[in-house]
Structure 1
Amino acid sequence: MEQKTRAGHTGTGPGAITPDGCAVELYARLPAGQEPDIVAAAVPAGARILELGSGAGRVTHALVERGFTVTAVDESPEMLERVRGARTICSPIEDLELSETFDVVMLASFLVHTADAGLRQRLLRTCARHVAPGGCVLIQREGEDFHTNVPRERVDPAGFTVRILAVEAVGDGVNEVHAEYVFPDATWTQTFRSRPLTRGQFEEALAQAGLEVDKYLTPDGIWVRAVPAAVPADREGGVEKDAGER
């Protein structure tokens, strides 16, 4: 099955394919990995988490099991049908407008590396407007060698193989990534577009959305905890004081 629904994003394999090339059945099978442990170590126990781009609940379910209250957001109803134990909201992340804030907002799955810089800002602004005072935003970045250590493969202990087959430049600093997931009974492929970001570029994108890095949570810099940027005293209330008021 193949469905091309977004420029540069395609997927093949059994079952439904989402607009960004993700196979629902594949993502329902993938294990949570270390992500829930990283999250649990970075935020208060029992925190209310807004998970943006939850997919089929790969990380959601593990967070719920650890006692977090999770609101899972995804644009794919087929993905959200697989989510259990969490409130679900079907919406594009960039359009999300909830009348509430959360202790933690998560933007994982390398979504911050979207090829569209304007979309990146809309994603980060969604994070910023939904994080509660004193809360944080957890963001997953690509590793430093994500686009250069190619081809590569990883055999998961669960019994499947993940391969990054190729990375091809398509212009304007954007790459097209070709991935393959091989299980004993099925194979899925996914092609998606990604824009590599240096730490400086990443932090500048955060600043434009009113966020700043609080801590890089992992030695490789892949997981980051961000917080609302501090407002300078001379700009409080949105009005800069003139020289005579300082």
Structure 2
Amino acid sequence: MREGYDGSGPGAITPDGCSVEVYARLPLYGEPDIIAAAVPEAARLLELGCGVGRMTGPLVERGFTVTAVDESAEMLERVRGARTVRSPIESLELGELFDAVTLTSFLVHAGDEGVRRGLLDTCRRHIGDDGCVIIQREPLDQRARLPYERVDPAGFTVRMSSEPAGDGVDLMRAEYVFPDTVWRQRFLSRALTREAFEAALAESGLRVDRYLTDDGTWVRAVPTA
């Protein structure tokens, strides 16, 4: 388990504290539609941090060729319809270029700035000058709303809270309460203003092409000229 990260509950827990079973149970919230509308038709996609393939399968069904990457073997066992690669994202070196890369699940908010830079560098080195990166980031008011409790229409409850861990990093606590069991996770996350987010992109040779949603959560980035 990574320092500052842990998880508990039935089944396999990944090095960053995620429950494989929780991700297998989570519904989709329109993510494949957002991605599909922002990338070329029938594109070759590199999906970083694919988890159990919640988005992988729907993207394959939409005609995309997907290479799905995750560091958890237990997560990758659930992925269907795509080539899979087991690797930490920040050290991935496939030696290939893709039409688009996706970095979702708020991974860009990694508490360690070096890890965040590694994630974005991986995105950049796997696209050509005409490629794009689709990034999911926190809504701008996310931290201000903590702690919160949300009852999902799918029939489970999510509780989130945080406490300062120093140097702009928060220790986040997540609890997923299902009718039959509970999973808990702790992880480190760094809040990013829009300015800080765009500066981080620039460090890796990327820039915002456009924000895809009104709340700024989904972003299409492209290589800097």
TM range (shorter): over 0.9
Q: Paired residue for 1:76?
A: 72
Q: Secondary structure at the match of 1:221?
A: coil
Displacement after TM superposition at 1:128 (Å)? 0.3
Displacement after TM superposition at 1:21 (Å)? 0.4
Q: How far apart, CA to CA, are the structure 2 residues paired with 1:154 and 1:61?
A: 26
Q: Paired residue for 1:217?
A: 212
Q: Paired residue for 1:7?
A: 3
Q: How far apart, CA to CA, are the structure 2 residues paired with 1:225 and 1:50?
A: 14
Structure 2 spans left out of the alignment, 5+ residues: none
1:199 is aligned with what amino acid? R
Residue 87 (1) aligns with residue 83 (2): yes
2:167 is aligned with what amino acid? D
Q: Any idea what the Cα deviations from partners look like across 1:20-60, whole Å, max 9, x if unmatched?
A: 00001111111121111111111122111100000111111
Q: Any idea what the Cα deviations from partners look like across 1:36-87, whole Å, max 9, x if unmatched?
A: 1111111122111100000111111111121111100000011000000010
Residue 67 (1) aligns with residue 67 (2): no
Structure 1 spans left out of the alignment, 5+ residues: 231-246
Q: How far apart, CA to CA, are the structure 2 residues paired with 1:63 and 1:163?
A: 29
Q: Secondary structure at the match of 1:99?
A: coil
Q: How far apart, CA to CA, are the structure 1 residues paired with 2:106 and 2:26?
A: 16
Residue 20 (1) aligns with residue 16 (2): yes
1:186 is aligned with what amino acid? T
Q: Any idea what the Cα deviations from partners look like across 1:86-133, whole Å, max 9, x if unmatched?
A: 100000001110121111100111111101111111110100000133
Bigger Rg over Cα: 1
Q: Paired residue for 2:97?
A: 101
Q: Paired residue for 2:50?
A: 54
Q: How far apart, CA to CA, are the structure 2 residues paired with 1:66 and 1:103?
A: 15
Q: Paired residue for 1:147?
A: 143
Q: Paired residue for 2:169?
A: 174
Q: Paired residue for 2:180?
A: 185
CA RMSD of aligned residues (A): 0.9
Q: Which has the higher contact order (CA 8 A, sep 6+)?
A: 2
Aligned length: 225
Q: How far apart, CA to CA, are the structure 2 residues paired with 1:70 and 1:153?
A: 34
Q: Secondary structure at the match of 2:144?
A: coil
% same residue: 67
Displacement after TM superposition at 1:138 (Å)? 0.5
| 1:51 and 1:72 in contact (8 A); partners too | yes
Q: Secondary structure at the match of 2:164?
A: strand
Q: How far apart, CA to CA, are the structure 2 residues paired with 1:42 and 1:154?
A: 29
| 1:32 and 1:62 in contact (8 A); partners too | no
Q: Paired residue for 1:227?
A: 222
1:76 is aligned with what amino acid? S
2:99 is aligned with what amino acid? D
1:108 is aligned with what amino acid? T
Displacement after TM superposition at 1:150 (Å)? 1.7
Residue 153 of structure 2: which of 157, 177, 197 is its match? 157
